[in-house]
Chains A and B, each alone.
Chain A
Amino acid sequence: MSTIPITPDPADEPWILPDRGTIGMACLIIAESAIFVIFVVAYIFYMGQSLGGPTPQQVLELPIFTTICLLSSSFTLHWAVVALRKSKLSAFNAWLATTVALGAIFLIGTGMEWYHLIYVDGLTIRTNLFGTTFYSLVGLHATHVIVGLLMLIAALIFGLTGHVNEKHAHRMDVLSLYWHFVDAVWVIVFTVVYVLGR
């Protein structure tokens, strides 16, 4: 071991550690990313391996509009947190409500897409490997959107009933980390399923 003498620091040196909410959410995001990686790998592994139709080329449409909605919801949530930090509560509520609406539009879009796939194209999770991997990957992502939406709605209810102030901006930061993660995952899912997979 080295024997270089060092001076001990004074006890009143400021001692600031990272915030536990942010670190906890970062850890959750790493773990969730690993789960998504496995589902994406399964999707890529089984691309074009289905024994029967329908194939992605025949039935998948690019969900451009809902993708724009979901991705812009990251910006609206960011502006909501910015407004909250400046104590502009009505702006916070408005931006948060916009975020919830955009997320809900995305979910409705997914629901309509699935309805069409199931009842018009006859593709279910049992039909072939494409159905298996498509519904599980997109469904896993949609589950995360639902969880995020529930938390955003809870925050919105607190906001509308006047229980939120600028001291809670930090909690909204942690929640928005999760929402940004869900959006980032959609970029991957979109690329793999709708661009490469078609």
Chain B
Amino acid sequence: MADSVSGLSSVEAIDLTPVEKPRQLFLEVLYDWVTTVDHKKIGLMYIAYSLIFLVIGGIEAIVMRIQLAVPHNTFVSPQVFNRMFTLHGTTMVFFVGMPILFGFGNYLVPLMIGARDMAFPRLNAFSFWVSAFGGFLLYYSFIGGSGLYGAGGAPDVGWFAYAPLTARVFSPGHSTDYWTLSILLSGIGSIGTALNIVATIICMRCPGMKLNRMPLLAWLYLVTSSMVFIAVSPLTAAQIMLMLDRYVGSHFFDTQAGGSAILWMHFFWIFGHPEVYILVLPAFAFANEIIPVFSRKAIFGYPAMVAASVGIGFISLSVWAHHMFAVGMGAGANVFFVFSTMIISVPTGIKIFNWLATIWGGKIRFASPMLFSVGFLFQFLIAGLTGIMLSVAPFDWQLTGSYFVVAHFHYVLVGAILFMIFAAFYYWYPKATGRMMSERLGKWHFWLMVIGFHMTFDFMHIPGLLGMPRRIYTYEPGRGWEIWNLIVSVGAIVQAIATMIFVYNLIHSYYKGEVAGNDPWDAWTLEWSTASPPPSYNFATTPIVHSRRPLWDIKHPEDPDWNYE
């Protein structure tokens, strides 16, 4: 039996990198990163790039919250407020959410399936740089939006940019064009990376890594990347149509010539709703890896987890029009989308119960990754419950376009996705840098984040129920909204402080953190069998796996996992 795992039996044998590397000039390092096709470096660039945009998008959120903290505030003008919510939404979805998840996917998928690199390394670099230039283009609109004479015009059409507001007549200047082009580029990059991830997972697995032995993270990335093809492409098509409308005078969304504004809504949400699942499935993927390791148990119900993920992928393609109940689609369409939206909570519920069953009876270690995962479980549950409320069409008619909806989807995006991204940072940072993140700062970060998150997004439901519409730049006193808005704004500041602690922790631990070693968490997947940080070739000898937890088999040769699978 020891022979059968010889590929991994000696951890020393796997890393052959010299400990001392020669010092490089700054330009050499820069050249190295700009021209790299290494999946780990591209992954880290994705992550660094989206962290920068996370801070920018966060600042935009803070600007909005300062403006709304008290009635009749004049901190920013209405025009600037419109730009802030447009850029905040666009930035967070396309230039934080997508790239950070692709970054983790790029970094982790080849390591976890025992591959040397992605299937198409040069396509990988191309996709990253295209996405990156998309982000730069969006922010260049601050300078170029109204031409050089009218500097300062950024897009102000909202992140879903409903027609006919985006028509040339109603959005003159170039700010909307920057928005369209940046999303078009980001979409091309996303499709390229998704293609790469699917090809890597299908074609590059190490010997013995059958599909039913793959780490669940790889499964979830397979599902999420497949969804990108079907969900992001319609947005790309719709952006091409919008460009044609704005530049050559076609009439797709031109209501004056018989075009339809509703068609844009359909096209946008055919992308927009699967997109939420594209973002949340990688968060589930992180939970699938972190929760078992910190509960010291194998994941409960692996086949059910895979089936639920694939199920979510399919159902999520048929729920988009629950964003459009207020349009008046007719009873038949309303009923269909109410039920499809409710049904999607079934596979999601299966996942939550499986995570709970994994934790149940485990020997739980409450390190920072596990703290964030537990926060994720509670918050994602509540986010799902308000989601079921909003899936009921009459309830949605009452609250659509209100702060209740904003609170609901921020509960998913922040309470679930961002929390799991933080957990993933604490969990895989030692692998990427070779040093542990500070546990003390991690605890500060977690508790401040929990307090700030709940202050902001729990209380944001209430002004929504009281009728406060989203996207208003100010409001009158005496409607009962003041105290709630103030609490929400204070919570946003607390979250900003928590995030600053996190960023400080990232930088500080890189220089001063405790040395991690190859496998600081006593984990079971292949990435922990190589050095931290991994050498450019990942594994000196190609690993051979025999079960879902290859490192468990090596650490416990007397009781290997394949006896139980």
Contacts and interface: CB of A to CB of B under 8 A. Distances in A.
A46 B563 CA distance: 60
B202 A17 contact: yes
Nearest to A30: B229
Given A1-B302, A17-B203, A38 B198 contact: no
A6 B562 contact: yes
Given A23-B202, A126-B249, A31 B207 contact: no
Given A3-B564, A9-B546, A11-B4, A42 B263 contact: yes
Contacts of A11: 3-4, 207-208, 544
A32 B258 CA distance: 27
Contacts, number: 135
A126 B250 contact: yes
Interface string B196-223: 1011101111011000000000000000
A27 B197 CA distance: 10
A57 B427 CA distance: 64
Interface string A99-136: 00000000000000000000000000110110111011
A125 B250 contact: yes
B354 to A, nearest CB: 11
A8 B4 contact: yes
A10 B199 CA distance: 26
A19 interface: yes
Given A31-B191, A136-B244, A45 B203 contact: no
B251 interface: yes
Given A45-B260, A51-B257, A125 B199 contact: no
Given A11-B4, A38-B238, A51-B258, A1 B208 contact: no
B303 to A, nearest CB: 9
A34 B235 CA distance: 10
B120 A125 contact: no
Interface in B34-49: none
Contacts of A39: 237, 241
A49 interface: yes
Contacts of B267: 38
Interface residues of A, number: 44
A126 B248 contact: yes
Nearest to A131: B250
A2 B207 CA distance: 24
B205 A17 contact: yes
Nearest to A37: B234
A167 interface: no
A76 B119 CA distance: 30
A45 B270 CA distance: 16
A20 B249 contact: no
B233 A31 contact: yes
A126 B204 CA distance: 48
Contacts of A157: none
A58 B230 CA distance: 36
A65 interface: no
A28 B233 CA distance: 10
B9 to A, nearest CB: 12
Given A6-B562, A17-B204, A125 B237 contact: no
Given A17-B205, A30-B229, A42-B252, A5 B563 contact: yes
Interface in B289-315: 298, 300-302
A177 B560 CA distance: 44
Contact of B229 (A3, A6, A13, A31): A31
Contact of B259 (A2, A129, A136): A129
A129 B256 CA distance: 11
A140 B198 CA distance: 26
B370 interface: no
A129 to B, nearest CB: 5
A20 B204 contact: yes
Contacts of B228: 31
A49 B199 contact: no
A24 B119 CA distance: 9
Nearest to B259: A129
4 pairs of A and B residues whose beta carbons are closest in the complex = A34-B233, A38-B237, A132-B250, A20-B203
Given A17-B204, A27-B194, A42-B252, 20 more contacts: A6-B563, A10-B4, A13-B207, A17-B202, A19-B203, A20-B200, A24-B119, A24-B196, A28-B195, A31-B195, A34-B229, A34-B237, A35-B237, A37-B234, A38-B267, A49-B258, A50-B258, A125-B244, A125-B250, A136-B244
Interface of A: 1-3, 5-6, 8-11, 13, 15, 17-20, 23-24, 27-28, 30-35, 37-39, 42, 45-46, 49-51, 125-126, 128-129, 131-133, 135-136, 140
14 contacts: A1-B301, A5-B564, A8-B547, A20-B200, A20-B203, A23-B202, A28-B195, A31-B195, A31-B232, A34-B230, A35-B237, A37-B234, A128-B258, A136-B244
